Amino acid sequence: MSVMDSRARSVTDVWSMDRAEPIRTGDDYVASLRGRGLRVRYMGEWISEPVDHPVVRPSVNAVARTYDLAVEKPELATVHSELVGRRVNRFLHVATSAEDLVDQNKMQRELGRQTGTCFQRCVGMDAFNALWSVTYECDRDRGTTYHQRLRDFLRYVQEKNLVVGGAMTDPKGDRSKAPADQHDPDLYVRVVQRREDGVVLRGAKAHQTGCLNSHWLVVMPTMRMRPEDRDYAIVAAIPVDHPGITYLYGRQASDSRAAEGVDQGNATYGGQEAMVLLDDVFVPWESVFLDGEVEWTAPLVERFTGFHRRSYVCKTGLGDVLVGAAAQLAEYHGTDRASHVKDKIVEMTHLNETIYGAGIAASHEARPTAAGNYQPDDVLANVCKHNVTRFPYEIARLAQDIAGGLVATMPSEQELDDEEVGPLLRKYLATSPDVDPADRMRLLRLVENLTMGRNAVGYLTESLHGAGSPQAQRVQIARGTDAEALKAHARRLAGVDEPAGD
Amino acid sequence: MSVMDSRARSVTDVWSMDRAEPIRTGDDYVASLRGRGLRVRYMGEWISEPVDHPVVRPSVNAVARTYDLAVEKPELATVHSELVGRRVNRFLHVATSAEDLVDQNKMQRELGRQTGTCFQRCVGMDAFNALWSVTYECDRDRGTTYHQRLRDFLRYVQEKNLVVGGAMTDPKGDRSKAPADQHDPDLYVRVVQRREDGVVLRGAKAHQTGCLNSHWLVVMPTMRMRPEDRDYAIVAAIPVDHPGITYLYGRQASDSRAAEGVDQGNATYGGQEAMVLLDDVFVPWESVFLDGEVEWTAPLVERFTGFHRRSYVCKTGLGDVLVGAAAQLAEYHGTDRASHVKDKIVEMTHLNETIYGAGIAASHEARPTAAGNYQPDDVLANVCKHNVTRFPYEIARLAQDIAGGLVATMPSEQELDDEEVGPLLRKYLATSPDVDPADRMRLLRLVENLTMGRNAVGYLTESLHGAGSPQAQRVQIARGTDAEALKAHARRLAGVDEPAGD
Amino acid sequence: MSVMDSRARSVTDVWSMDRAEPIRTGDDYVASLRGRGLRVRYMGEWISEPVDHPVVRPSVNAVARTYDLAVEKPELATVHSELVGRRVNRFLHVATSAEDLVDQNKMQRELGRQTGTCFQRCVGMDAFNALWSVTYECDRDRGTTYHQRLRDFLRYVQEKNLVVGGAMTDPKGDRSKAPADQHDPDLYVRVVQRREDGVVLRGAKAHQTGCLNSHWLVVMPTMRMRPEDRDYAIVAAIPVDHPGITYLYGRQASDSRAAEGVDQGNATYGGQEAMVLLDDVFVPWESVFLDGEVEWTAPLVERFTGFHRRSYVCKTGLGDVLVGAAAQLAEYHGTDRASHVKDKIVEMTHLNETIYGAGIAASHEARPTAAGNYQPDDVLANVCKHNVTRFPYEIARLAQDIAGGLVATMPSEQELDDEEVGPLLRKYLATSPDVDPADRMRLLRLVENLTMGRNAVGYLTESLHGAGSPQAQRVQIARGTDAEALKAHARRLAGVDEPAGD
Amino acid sequence: MSVMDSRARSVTDVWSMDRAEPIRTGDDYVASLRGRGLRVRYMGEWISEPVDHPVVRPSVNAVARTYDLAVEKPELATVHSELVGRRVNRFLHVATSAEDLVDQNKMQRELGRQTGTCFQRCVGMDAFNALWSVTYECDRDRGTTYHQRLRDFLRYVQEKNLVVGGAMTDPKGDRSKAPADQHDPDLYVRVVQRREDGVVLRGAKAHQTGCLNSHWLVVMPTMRMRPEDRDYAIVAAIPVDHPGITYLYGRQASDSRAAEGVDQGNATYGGQEAMVLLDDVFVPWESVFLDGEVEWTAPLVERFTGFHRRSYVCKTGLGDVLVGAAAQLAEYHGTDRASHVKDKIVEMTHLNETIYGAGIAASHEARPTAAGNYQPDDVLANVCKHNVTRFPYEIARLAQDIAGGLVATMPSEQELDDEEVGPLLRKYLATSPDVDPADRMRLLRLVENLTMGRNAVGYLTESLHGAGSPQAQRVQIARGTDAEALKAHARRLAGVDEPAGD
């Protein structure tokens, strides 16, 4: 079936396409991605099978690791689901206790350590965790039936053990204008047609983490909507291989090295972000979880970010890798006992654990919603993410400091294979007879990878903008502060008001 | 009884002196401090009754608040104790769950908010929480009976509802030398005599928070000891009114304003730190909890700081007061809607909550000891405290930024009472007709109090040095990092080692 | 003559009061301040002779040092003046070259080192340096005669070698409203009457550095004025002992220790800030340098801050003292070879020199005005000051880190005199036999003095707000950035525009 | 002539190869690089003509700009040379005044702005500026003739208008061991043979900025040498096309995009760093400027870094480009009036100008050497560079913050050419009808280029390690601090010592 033919498949076909056997291992998962006929562009060309594309594959491997971890460490990466009556992958679970949320964080850190990149499944998890209570309350207040639809959808993906991506960020056009006020109405995803059997969507979602590697995408509004933005207040699940979707694969720093197959630093794992174009995509009502209830857009975004900003604890796993790489290089270089090197490693650790602390605290301080699931503490979740917008940059700087200038000036590992030049390069990159210069080069490439290469996208820029740019957290921290209570404390101590309790 | 006569009282007298009725309220507590004949120096003179001394009293009030809070909010400030079979003040409890530890943090923050100062009871609490497992393990390994003695002591203080202070920091002399190597052997507290009925101690403890306001002090070694430091490896409980003790009360910034009774900022509450001189103080065996087992000094210090560095969450309560004061002043000044002012308040909150997050996480990630109590996560506790050595200084700077230069240049409130000058001062300090200039002045004094006045001692300098200076945390963070595991992660991703799981 | 009688003296009397002999030494200067009958309030009382008041005197000493330095190091602290044809104190000079401005900075740093406080003469110097070009250009454009009046005034103060203070900051009332829109029209200094022989002024100036220690005050508008603020656009020189002026002396942290005569840290030198109340003060035309030309208020403020924000290089002198104190204490404590201590001293120095660098660069990059004097580079001057609002706080924190907790908990030096307690305090504060514990105490008090005591007012809060609060510098940095040029560079390199030069 | 044949050319041939006509324009310069038969490796292959290699060419263009600037702005980029009696390119000049040094900084900033990358000529300039005084003093003390040789060499390169590279950094092997103690003696460049007519060198130099783009390299020792390191104390000029040299070209982040010809951000200009392998390279005595005088290695390194650390002012030119790019993108996005965006641009500018200030001050505070040239202030030069190791990372972070996540997730510009996808990409990247989405993409790529792409090598990692890693500056700042003088100031103010001047 050619790429363009796929357009002809009905959604029912897509749905029925689901394989009989649920996915279990990473290999099963990789197999599940094949043959979907996705319309994917990269560097000006259509990609025929993303799974086998050298630039895409590392991102597939990272998601596959989430499956294998569930097999290897089920206590960490699976959890009992009431919906299906058995343990499911933790990424498909709606957290029903603070401890569940803390355990998510621990799984996220472990996966960060194991992959050194973004493993792409948090957005989806955080999306349906937020939708769980929002649909519940919307149904309660408006008499809609979104919550039951969501339960059905979740039961299905849990049974099949699928990857669900969340798609929130619209292109946004002119930032100073609301959705309905843009010069092009499609700059935010919108309902262009409401039919008896469902809705038709048009628009785009930018920076979509792991979209190609998912089985379903849940599109959601990206911000608070006004009544006039009603057509933009849409939440819907769409199969990734829907024929109306085109994926424009994002370039990453040094991504061509994956195609070259050399000097990658981390050849196994990588992140993935693409722009998703929705060209009049039909979604049946059973997959629609909000449509026009604009008053629920702000709560949805706030609750989603309440989960997702705390999910950035994953970056402490990447931080662990950088700490490890720096410590290993210091040992190779004979600088591991220099006090300033030890001190910098402590600083890296301190910053990394500071992020972790706020994340764990946000999860631990979660409170139950009316729907019965648990919602993280909003201020602490935002504080966690806000530190993520700062500290990885400093950790990266310190890692480069310890690693040395070769991070940015090292000749290709290909030179090692040359009969004349290879031995010379080894000679001059040797630090002591006990250290293989090739190992040193690999570690240096890993630092490059995480600080200015392919996984710097995930470790730095995504840390800055994912789950909302820094200012979004500041707004939310301001909202979460009970300024009146604090002012009253100050006035009382200053003697302006009467003492408390009197 | 004159001050000097008190020397004649036997320890048995002291012990029997205990009042029949346990303390319940803050007023009971204040009464319990009277008439103890303490030998206290301040500004070159003996103080006859510290409770009534204007400089001392605010620190008494802060401790009294810990009693009243237990009456007002028993769920926050009391907890069931197995030792006595009923709820006791949380400051006297050995935590037997992670949740207990989290609840300590919440109580600490609330008291920080209510008092705007150090309420002085955490050291003691953290001391016996650490001793609980250390004495248990020492007994197990060495056949000693310290743990049972500690249980008896704790049961007693819980029944009487007393304040127990912890006394750790020795004067230390030349920092480059160990205790037994100092030019004067008394520069660390030591056993100068071992008698059949107990030990005799000599030395001093510096920076002793709330020592005058306690009923008992538990002296502990301040660092890892070597075999030759055996006489310095002593833990013992001593009644505060033991006749062999002299207290040299520390000066605090602007402390004379308490004596003047004006321009205090926070007239009700203050901290207290004194140098405690032990002049051959006899301690009966029943009050000795370690004596010479040098190998337990390092675990004791590490476990104590594991509790205590996380207790610095109290400073987020003071941070709350500064945020409130800044927000209130901005409102008075008409700057509350200026974007840079709002942004600074967000930054203050962000830093404050970052501290809180690491503290809560350290408590939540606590693990049970062999003795059954819970020990906080060491790295996170150190990370919490390490942020405390940095962020309050920045929060204070931002508070001064918002409050304006008057924080440091404002005339005395006494001018307000002058017939000629008072109206002029009001006229020129008026911001709008709705704001009483006197209220504005009080809030400005509160900011001065917390950033460069009496409570800056607790909010800034104590945040830096209490529970160990910054470098102590860095050493501990380094120790808590499993560098080998992190290096292995880095090597695996870089392709130096085989993939994990293979 | 009683304080109240002084009101009766005519301005001519004041003027004629000028002594025949110019001031030369610090002692001459101190003598010149006596017997002026100033109306000064401190702590609710009138002060009879400020020079002899223990709290005021250290601030007088600091100014006296500026005279003595001119005698001791004339190449540093004096400079040839065209106005009088001989060398004058540099603080009275209008800079006519970039090198002149650089030399001001060097003198400021030296005086900061010598006094460890604010020596109070920069505002005046910077005021008439700014007025020099503003009056020149105003005269040129408006046909006024301000410049000649200013020259006459300057010649006079140079001849007499007087101290001129600058008075800029108004109380400002509601910050969200302009001068003429306040609920009380006096919240900015204004002309209440224009007479044939001069103007009558009413209002107040807040935070007036060294006002009592000056001979003349030059009042200036504090911000850009609108046409309707015409009466607020006034610049005038007023003798400090004008009978219509009342001074409300500001309280400083720990100021009472000067009255107590103990535990001062720096007993010799201190800063001074007071609120100056102008109660219908008459100023003859010869002392008026701007009156109603509102369009010149913004240039005046900008040029003044262009000088004054770079004058904050003085704080690097105070930073030098803190670096020295920390280094000395580390040596006393035996920690001077600990790598983290050395590293912190480097960091203190680095931050201190970063401030210095921007200040020197601002002076060096000065450009000539139409009036012939030199105006510092505006962006660099603002950058210098903006770093001053940040780095001293961090330097202070590091100094406290190295100095240790005793900075905030040390008993009074008065204990040293007690027969019983003195020897014990010495015993326990001893670090090695080579160090006198009393010396250690003095250094610790100096650190307290600069970080949370009397001179913390000058080193920290004044660094924050003096010459404009942080946001004022940010506004000015934004104004000084040629964003269009930078955007063009970026577009050209990105390939949006044609290459430059083509 | 094949690459391998070039080995046969005698040094005299090389020298005589010099073209009759001096270089004048950038085009002349590019022509001068051709046909030199350099032995250059990149990605495992020999490069036949570097000038025409797509990855190399942008670095050639950057150097060419230094020639064209001299034509376009001779007052900025040329200066009168006493050696040849006419104006020469400023990069070939020995500075004989502080103003000369300040002017270097201004030229460096301008070139940074014009190229957005490292233009590669500062190392050489700073090398012979340092050698000027070192050879002079060595000759004076040791009776050598190095200074005259250096003068001759400089006259020659000024006459021919050549590019001279400086080569300092050795591979260093085990950092905890000195040159002569390494397991392989070649890990620092050394003299392997001393002949009647010159010396033979072996070893490597790492991270060699612009080495291929130079005509001559001056090798220098990288650190203080001990007597036993005598053979490593060698300074010599070598023609770049010496047949004994092999160049291993360093990989840069996203360097393959230059080969692809797309998505480069800055397609015109780039930096260049390579590892230079010296395989028994003969140097005649006339090109040797130090040989074995180990006591002059430390002064050489210190003086060189005194010049070179201040040369990092060039990065403020790159900072200007990032400020401009961020400001332009904010305008495109409609966020340019958001207060937090304006504030971030101010912060970027503030940090950038802080670097500039310290650099200008270091140059301005230069002092004459015995040889008559000017040496920058050492502490300020180190402070300048130390800020360069920090602030560009924060400026880069802020630029990414303002630019948005597309910096790291944007599809290739190649999509724009596709008939189907191109219009869709334009549609969804449109912000307002006035902005061409392709322009927006180009600016975003420029931000990527400078923050995680090819020129991040120069803007970030080289800023960290070039001219010495951060710790090297800290050591030098410590050395430059007169701690004894500062301690004396502190003691005097604290009352420990007598007042100064008494």
Tens-digit pLDDT profile for residues A328-339:
999 999 999 999
| Statement: residue D19 has pLDDT above 80 | no
Task: Name the band, by pLDDT with cuts 50, 70 and 90, for residue D18.
Answer: low
CA C483, C484, C488, C491 torsion-angle sign:
positive
Q: Cβ contacts (< 8 Å) between C340 and chain A: which residues?
A: 339, 343
| Statement: residue C8 has pLDDT above 70 | no
Q: How far is it, in rounded angstroms, from Cα D328 to Cα C390?
A: 29
Question: With an 8 Å Cβ cutoff, are B494 and A364 in contact?
Answer: no
Task: Name the band, by pLDDT with cuts 50, 70 and 90, for residue C18.
Answer: low
Write the pLDDT tens digit of every residue in A91-134: 999 999 999 999 999 999 999 999 999 999 999 999 999 999 99
CB C412 within 8 A of CB C134: no
Closest by CA to A84, choosing from A161, A149, A4, is: A161
What are the two backbone dihedrals, phi and then psi, of residue A498, each rounded to the nearest 5 degrees?
-70, 155
Q: How far is it, in rounded angstroms, from Cα A13 to Cα A237?
A: 15
CB atoms within 10 A of CB C475: 15
At residue D497, the pLDDT reads: 86
Among chain A residues, the shortest Cα distance to B270 is held by A493
C-alpha distances in angstroms, B77 versus A500, B33, B89, B108, C166?
17, 21, 6, 9, 55
Write the pLDDT tens digit of every residue in C333-358: 999 999 999 999 999 999 999 999 99
At residue A21, the pLDDT reads: 86
What is the ipTM, given to two decimal places?
Answer: 0.96
For B183, the closest of C43, C184, C432 (CB atoms) is C432
CB C160 within 8 A of CB C22: yes
Segment A443-463 shows an average pLDDT of 98
Write the pLDDT tens digit of every residue in A41-91: 999 999 999 999 999 999 999 999 999 999 999 999 999 999 999 999 999
Q: How far is it, in rounded angstroms, from Cα D182 to Cα D229?
A: 11
Shortest Cα–Cα distance, D50 to chain C (Å) = 22
Residues β-bridged to residue D40: D47, D247
CB C234 within 8 A of CB C383: no
Closest by CA to C39, choosing from C243, C233, C187, C280, is: C243
Q: How far is it, in rounded angstroms, from Cα C262 to Cα C254?
A: 11
| Residue D75 annotated as catalytic | no
Tokens representing residue D72 in the block: 């376009």
Task: Name the band, by pLDDT with cuts 50, 70 and 90, for residue C166.
Answer: very high
CB B386 within 8 A of CB A349: no
Please provide the DSSP assignment of D383-404 as one string: HHHHHHTTHHHHHHHHHHHHH-
| Statement: residue D500 has pLDDT above 80 | no
What are the two backbone dihedrals, phi and then psi, of residue C62, each rounded to the nearest 5 degrees?
-65, -40
Summary mean pLDDT of chain D: 95
Percent of the residues in chain D that have a pLDDT greater than 70, as a whole number = 95
Q: Cβ contacts (< 8 Å) between D469 and chain A: which residues?
A: 401, 404-405
Among chain B residues, the shortest Cα distance to D339 is held by B339
Question: With an 8 Å Cβ cutoff, are A383 and B357 in contact?
Answer: yes
Write the pLDDT tens digit of every residue in D339-376: 999 999 999 999 999 999 999 999 999 999 999 999 99
Shortest Cα–Cα distance, C152 to chain B (Å) = 33
Segment A223-238 shows an average pLDDT of 98
At residue B501, the pLDDT reads: 46
D20 CB-side CA count, 13 A: 0
For chain A, the distance separating the N- and C-terminal CA atoms, rounded to the nearest angstrom, is 79
Rounded (10°) angle between helices D437-451 and C483-494 = 90
Closest by CA to D66, choosing from D105, D22, D119, is: D119
At residue C265, the pLDDT reads: 98
C-alpha distances in angstroms, C270 versus C108, C253, C254, C309, D297?
15, 11, 12, 21, 47
Judged by a CB distance cut-off of 8 A, whether residue C439 touches chain D is yes
At residue A20, the pLDDT reads: 61
- Name the one residue in this structure whose structure tokens are 């022989």: C197
What are the two backbone dihedrals, phi and then psi, of residue C66, each rounded to the nearest 5 degrees?
-65, -25
CA C375, C380, C386, C392 torsion-angle sign:
negative
| Statement: residue C6 has pLDDT above 70 | no
Tokens representing residue C360 in the block: 């020197």
| Statement: residue C5 has pLDDT above 80 | no
Q: How far is it, in rounded angstroms, from Cα B361 to Cα B385?
A: 12
Q: How far is it, in rounded angstroms, from Cα C35 to Cα C3?
A: 10
Q: How far is it, in rounded angstroms, from Cα C404 to Cα B179?
A: 18
Write the pLDDT tens digit of every residue in A380-397: 999 999 999 999 999 999
3-state secondary structure of D79: strand
- Strand duo C245-249 + C367-368: pairing: unpaired
Among chain D residues, the shortest Cα distance to A174 is held by D431
CB B378 within 8 A of CB B476: yes
CB atoms within 10 A of CB C20: 5
What are the two backbone dihedrals, phi and then psi, of residue A203, each rounded to the nearest 5 degrees?
135, -160
What are the E-state strand segments in B31-124?
39-42, 45-47, 78-81, 86-89
3-state secondary structure of A218: strand
Q: What's C153-220 look like in SS3?
A: HHHHHHHHCCCEEEECCCCCCCCCCCHHHCCCHHHCCEEEEEECCEEEEEEEEEEEECCCCCCEEEEC
Summary mean pLDDT of chain B: 95
At residue A103, the pLDDT reads: 98
Write the pLDDT tens digit of every residue in B412-463: 999 999 999 999 999 999 999 999 999 999 999 999 999 999 999 999 999 9
Task: Find the catalytic residue in A138, A188, A273, A384.
Answer: A273
Alpha carbon C290 to chain centroid distance?
22
Question: With an 8 Å Cβ cutoff, are D430 and A187 in contact?
Answer: yes
Closest by CA to A43, choosing from D408, D420, D413, is: D413
Write the pLDDT tens digit of every residue in D380-415: 999 999 999 999 999 999 999 999 999 999 999 999
Q: How far is it, in rounded angstroms, from Cα B357 to Cα B363?
A: 10
Judged by a CB distance cut-off of 8 A, whether residue C339 touches chain A is yes
Give the angle C471-C473-C477 at the CA atoms, nearest 5°: 120
CB D303 within 8 A of CB D468: no
Tokens representing residue B483 in the block: 């560098």
Q: How far is it, in rounded angstroms, from Cα D1 to Cα D15?
A: 17
| Statement: residue B67 has pLDDT above 80 | yes
Task: Name the band, by pLDDT with cuts 50, 70 and 90, for residue D499.
Answer: low
| Residue B384 annotated as catalytic | no
CB A68 within 8 A of CB B501: yes
Judged by a CB distance cut-off of 8 A, whether residue D69 touches chain C is no
- Those of residues 23-42 in C touching chain B at CB distance below 8 A are 41-42
Q: How far is it, in rounded angstroms, from Cα C205 to Cα C235?
A: 13
CB atoms within 10 A of CB B338: 17
CB B79 within 8 A of CB B88: yes
Q: How far is it, in rounded angstroms, from Cα D207 to Cα B482?
A: 33
- Those of residues 347-406 in D touching chain B at CB distance below 8 A are none
List the chains bordering chain D where 3 or more Cβ pairs fall under 8 Å: A, B, C
pTM score of the predicted model: 0.96
Task: Name the band, by pLDDT with cuts 50, 70 and 90, for residue B365.
Answer: very high
Write the pLDDT tens digit of every residue in A388-428: 999 999 999 999 999 999 999 999 999 999 999 999 999 99
At residue B4, the pLDDT reads: 34
Tokens representing residue C69 in the block: 């330095």
Judged by a CB distance cut-off of 8 A, whether residue D52 touches chain B is no
Question: With an 8 Å Cβ cutoff, are B383 and A350 in contact?
Answer: yes
| Residue A349 annotated as catalytic | no
Summary mean pLDDT of chain C: 95
CB A380 within 8 A of CB B356: yes
3-state secondary structure of A248: strand
* CB proximity list for A482: less than 8 A, separation 6 or greater: none
CB A107 within 8 A of CB A76: yes
Segment D52-72 shows an average pLDDT of 98
Segment B71-85 shows an average pLDDT of 98
Among chain A residues, the shortest Cα distance to B485 is held by A324
